Amino acid sequence: MSIELEISLAQWSLHKAFFSRELAVPDFPRIARERYGITGVEYVTQFFQDKASDSAYFSRLKQNASDEGVANLLLMIDDSGSLATPDPTARARAIGQHHQWMEAAAIMGCCSVRVNLHGSNHVPQWKETAQQSLAHLAEVGRGMNLSVLVENHGGLSSNAGLLVDVIRSLNMPNVGTMPDFGNFCIRREVDGDLWHSPCIESYNIYQGVSEMLPFAQAVSAKSIAFDADGNETTIDFYRMVELVKKSEYRGYIGIEYAGYSLSEDEGIKKTKALLQKALAED
């Protein structure tokens, strides 16, 4: 494996266990290291939404990671308002909620937050509001040594060409992308739906990752299903990892198992094994 590309674990890979409280969030760094031999982790606010203002809780998460020799890399901010909504009052409220989570990420020792750019399906309007929100959050993040990263995560944010236009126009060093190997559905059958109805318009996943990589400060290796040989059946991991290796990105590739055919434990292990094989290829 390249010493410049390491494997991390996204908390969403264990979302069923965390939502059911089978696992406790403060134990995440230990679980990553003991079960999977992984020493970099990425958190998701959905699992501790009620802790947003609890600085002691985030100090504990930092200490627990330190005790395990694990790096808290990133905090994925969800359910905190729409940063690209045309409603200025709602957008201001969303920005304020993101401030709070950025403070949490800084306490945890993270280097980045991942944000979503939802709220409008009108391209010029979406680009304008996305630019305004990202510029504001980047200024806040600069004082916290935090980068603000946008993931292709449904709606117009999954149009990599448009997203890259926004990132490039800002030209701010702490604004970047978090390309996800999957999440390239732009429009679904039910108008306004981001996740559940059938996808009727999507972006080419390999083109999308390639376009986002020059601005990447994190990478998410989404996996859904595997064949008998351990290969992902919906995404060519070898092709994706080759794109990453040929880019200038150097850092972590985060495991995000999101399938249901395997247990979360087995899905994580298969994703890690496949990433290791792909990374080891010349």
Assign residue 97 the CATH number of its domain.
3.20.20.150
Domain extent at residue 25: 5-280
The beta strands (E) that lie in 139-211 are given as 147-151, 175-178, 185-188, 199-202
Instruction: Judge whether 116 and 155 are in contact, CB under 8 Å.
Output: no
Average the pLDDT over 88-95 and give the result.
97
Strands (E), 3-48: 5-10, 40-44
Residues in contact with 84: Cβ distance below 8 Å, sequence separation at least 6, in sequence order: 91, 117, 118, 119, 120, 126, 129, 130, 133, 156, 157
Our count of domains for the chain comes to 1
Asked if 131 and 95 touch (Cβ cutoff 8 Å), the reply is no
Q: Residue 194 has what pLDDT?
A: 86
Give the pLDDT mean for 19-47: 98
Cβ atoms < 10 Å from Cβ of 22? 10
Distance (Å, whole) CA 26 – CA 21: 12
Per cent of the chain over pLDDT 90 is: 96
Report the alpha-carbon distance of residue 44 to residue 85 in Å, rounded.
Answer: 22
SS3 call for 154? coil
**Mean pLDDT, to the nearest integer, of 69-96?**
97
In angstroms, the CA 190 to CA 95 distance is 27
**So what's the pLDDT on residue 192?**
83
**pLDDT at residue 195, rounded to an integer:** 81
pLDDT at 225 over 80: yes
- Comparing CA positions, the residue from 161, 149, 156, 163 lying closest to residue 252 is 149
Please give the pLDDT value at position 3: 43
Confidence of residue 1 (pLDDT cuts 50, 70, 90): very low
List of E strands, 86-178: 112-115, 147-151, 175-178
pLDDT of residue 193: 82
CA dist 256 to 93, 189, 197, 220, 222, Å? 29, 25, 21, 6, 5
113: helix, strand or coil: strand
What is the pLDDT averaged over residues 50-70? 98
* Average pLDDT value over all residues in the chain: 96
Token pair 């004082």 in the structure block, residue? 143
Looking at residue 199, its amino acid is: C
Write phi, then psi, for 44 (nearest 5 degrees).
-130, 125
* Overall average pLDDT of the 233-238 stretch: 98
Q: For residue 223, which of 236, 211, 212, 207 has the smallest C-alpha distance? A: 236
2-11, 138-147, 162-171, 273-282: segment of lowest average pLDDT: 2-11
Paired with 41 in beta bridges are 9, 72
Mean pLDDT of 76-92: 97
